[in-house]
Structure 1
């Protein structure tokens, strides 16, 4: 598990758990998911009651509730030369993932026990820098949890990430895109993953799926990756990650900024609930893709 946790002073956050509702409809070759206005938990006022007293909720630039995700879009099979590809977007954050392989390799990189997984992160503009190298490492370690590399020894599986636009949450968007592309390529997996980004303001109020402006202004934010329901026949019953049941475990945790232990645990709870909805959408998009629908959109 990749985890960076910076503690300042202990906080007590009494924000209640909030669920997210969804509705869907088919638009030509797309599956469109939108948070149901009647199902999303609404606040009577713009105030949260916490153990630290009454706290005002910041107005979000896009008008969303703190518990709402941005529109989701998933398109598969976009690149004909790749073995698998997917475009995953969360409103104005768009990432394309391409998968090549398994392909035979030789020399130092060859591993007789398993396939070698490599990740290349291409920024929207300019050359890749330290932040892109860090993202490559995080994404590689995450995908190694779900890819059944032992099924293809002496081969390499390449995952190419192209950031088309970044308005916050690019890492979690890339996680979801890479998982969708691996499925499109027919790579054996233990199961799917669902990545969620959340931000915390100075009062401990949690905001799901922050945009770039919110990530910069708020106290801290976290990218959390959760395992979805096992989808492969190779995954045994009771599959566990780091000794935790797969339905409750966490694959990757990356935090930036200042988060107290209490804030972090509240982020985990809120993000886990959101990841269930993202996983449901990913599975639905896969089912529709198998029926010939290549593009899946969600909001």
Structure 2
């Protein structure tokens, strides 16, 4: 575990990550942000059902399993779509035509910033599976408090008290926004400020990725 903080008052909760935890998937990872934790498993490239086959690229399916209760709520479907769109933008799916990739995300604990934690777990699992990507990506969630303060990587309690919540997927090469999910009321300026905070915070997440992978392979060598 390591403490992460950035300048301009961008502070993030402690991160933790482990790759290659599960034996059955082709790639797996767990990602922890504070008390929020998600396990991700990647299966494929594998055979695809004819009805879902795409002739020039792989078909990607994302399934989000909640900690309790049945899957498939509107919130989960929205989060699945956000993760899928981000993964499709990063993966070189044309290398695997007429095949399927499945990404399963299991929520272990949700204490805020769940979508960004899902994105981070997904990226680490895709890396573990050895899939070709044009870039890495990470998720950063920002909450805007009633007083207008921007909180990066908010807890569930901070989310509850906020008037707006935004999650961005940031790419590792140009720090551009690949996907955004927003809720609540905010001005254009506040949106731009949250993007800037997320881009700043992403530097810390990508550094954590590098350190995490370096630690893993130094153990294996």
TM-score range normalised by the length of the shorter chain: over 0.9
Structure number with bigger Rg: 1
Q: Residues 161-206 of structure 1: CA distance to partner in whole angstroms, max 9, x if unpaired?
A: 0000000001000000001000001111111101111111123211
Q: Equivalent residue for 1:268?
A: 195
Q: Equivalent residue for 2:16?
A: 73
Is 1:86 aligned to residue 13 of structure 2? no
Number of positions where the alignment pairs a residue of Structure 1 with one of Structure 2: 219
Once the 2 structures are TM-superposed, how far is the Cα of residue 290 of structure 1 from its aligned partner? 2.8
Among candidates 100, 115, 122, match of residue 65 of structure 2 = 122
Structure 2 CA distance for aligned equivalents of residues 102 and 290 of structure 1: 24
Structure 1 residues 114-123 or 127-136, which shifts more? Answer: 127-136
The alignment partner of 1:69 has SS state of strand
Query: Given the two structures, how large is their TM-score scaled by the length of structure 2?
Result: 0.94
Is 1:290 aligned to residue 188 of structure 2? no
Contact 1:196/1:274 (8 A) holds in 2: yes
| Larger relative contact order (Cα-Cα within 8 Å, sequence gap ≥ 6) | 1
Q: Equivalent residue for 1:207?
A: 151
Contact 1:106/1:154 (8 A) holds in 2: no
Once the 2 structures are TM-superposed, how far is the Cα of residue 35 of structure 1 from its aligned partner? 3.4
The alignment partner of 1:71 has SS state of strand
Relative to its length, the structure with more helix (as a share) is 2
Q: Equivalent residue for 1:95?
A: 38
Pairwise CA RMSD of aligned residues? 1.5
Once the 2 structures are TM-superposed, how far is the Cα of residue 284 of structure 1 from its aligned partner? 2.2
- The aligned runs of 1:28-47 (5 Å cut-off) are 32-35=1-4
The alignment partner of 2:177 has SS state of coil
Q: Equivalent residue for 1:144?
A: 88
The alignment partner of 1:162 has SS state of strand
Q: Residues 84-136 of structure 1: CA distance to partner in whole angstroms, max 9, x if unpaired?
A: 00000101100000000000224111222110000000000001211111111
Structure 2 CA distance for aligned equivalents of residues 114 and 292 of structure 1: 35
Gaps of at least 5 residues in structure 2 are: none
Q: Equivalent residue for 2:134?
A: 190
- The aligned runs of 1:144-183 (5 Å cut-off) are 144-183=88-127
Gaps of at least 5 residues in structure 1 are: 1-31, 42-65, 230-246, 294-299
